[in-house]
Structure 1
Amino acid sequence: MDRFQYLALMGLCLALTLPLEFAFRARVYRRPRRLLRTLAPVVGVFYVWDAVAIARGHWWFDRRYVTGVELPLGVPLEELVFFVAIPLCALLTFEAVRNLLEGTAPRDRRGEHSIEAASAGADLSGGRGGG
């Protein structure tokens, strides 16, 4: 089980930030081209960086904690997942906070931001520009 901990942690990060897509209208997953344009440079740069560090012996992975699946240039699968998951979680958080600060996140009937208002599926903004 130890060898799946890293992947499980990345899955947990994604699962914990997924509600931001709906509760605070982050709209990260709903704009896949924009997401791809955002992630591609980050993933590309850090993938190459990791590959160079691994090749030079500056960076390594304890085999007990990785699945053993190696991608081109000797990069473990878990690193690629990390390079996608963490920026994705950051984007979801950023967009949710921005929507809260700009007042475009869903509001409940009292005019307060709430996950319950967002999960109801209806626009409860009362015409105040629910985005």
Structure 2
Amino acid sequence: MGQLSYLAVLAGCLFAAIWLEPALRVNVLRRWRRLALTLLAVVAVFVAWDLAAIAVGHWSFDPAQTTGVLLPGRLPLDELLFFVVVPICTVLGFEAVRAVRTPPGRPRRPDDRWSAGDEADHRPAGDEADADRRRVR
């Protein structure tokens, strides 16, 4: 089990977060393009960081706790998977909190999730929005 330790931790993280997708309908996996762009940014930065740290000898991995599969630059496959799994779990957790904290009276639409955070997401819906517009005029 030692060589699968890293993968076991990653599987546990994913297992702990993946249930949020169907239970709270956060729609993170359904919006796979947005998730892929997020992962691309994270993976690119941290793989480059790890490769640089490995190259100068500042960073290493215990072969007894990894699968032993090394990618170019001596980066373990397990580490690359870490850079994919942890951001997925983070986004799932963030969207789950947003789903639970939706203010009363605000519609909970699937397209409302994982938005860019523009001003429209924070306006009241329906009659409240009309009342707010009338007050502003």
TM bucket, shorter chain: 0.7 to 0.9
- Which residue number corresponds to residue 2 of structure 2? 2
Q: For the pair shown, which has the larger CA radius of gyration, 1 or 2?
A: 2
Query: Deviation per CA, 1:95-116, whole angstroms, max 9, x where unpaired?
Result: 0100111159xxxxxxxxxxxx
1:130, CA displacement in angstroms? 3.9
Q: What amino acid is the match of 1:30? A: R
Listed as ranges, the gaps of 5+ residues in structure 2 are 110-137
Which contiguous aligned blocks of 4+ residues in structure 1 show a shift greater than 4 angstroms? Answer: none
- Which residue number corresponds to residue 27 of structure 2? 27
- Which residue number corresponds to residue 47 of structure 1? 47
| Secondary structure class of the residue paired with 2:92 | helix
C-alpha separation in 1, matches of 2:31 and 2:14: 17
C-alpha separation in 1, matches of 2:27 and 2:71: 30
Asked whether 1:78 is paired with 2:78, we answer yes
TM-score, with structure 2 as normaliser: 0.75
C-alpha separation in 1, matches of 2:62 and 2:108: 48
TM-score, with structure 1 as normaliser: 0.78
| Secondary structure class of the residue paired with 1:102 | coil
- Which residue number corresponds to residue 59 of structure 1? 59
Q: What amino acid is the match of 1:31? A: R
Listed as ranges, the gaps of 5+ residues in structure 1 are 105-127
- Which residue number corresponds to residue 18 of structure 2? 18
Identity among equivalent pairs (%): 49
- Which residue number corresponds to residue 130 of structure 2? none
1:24, CA displacement in angstroms? 1.1
Aligned residues: 109
What is the Cα-based RMSD across aligned positions, in Å?
Answer: 1.7
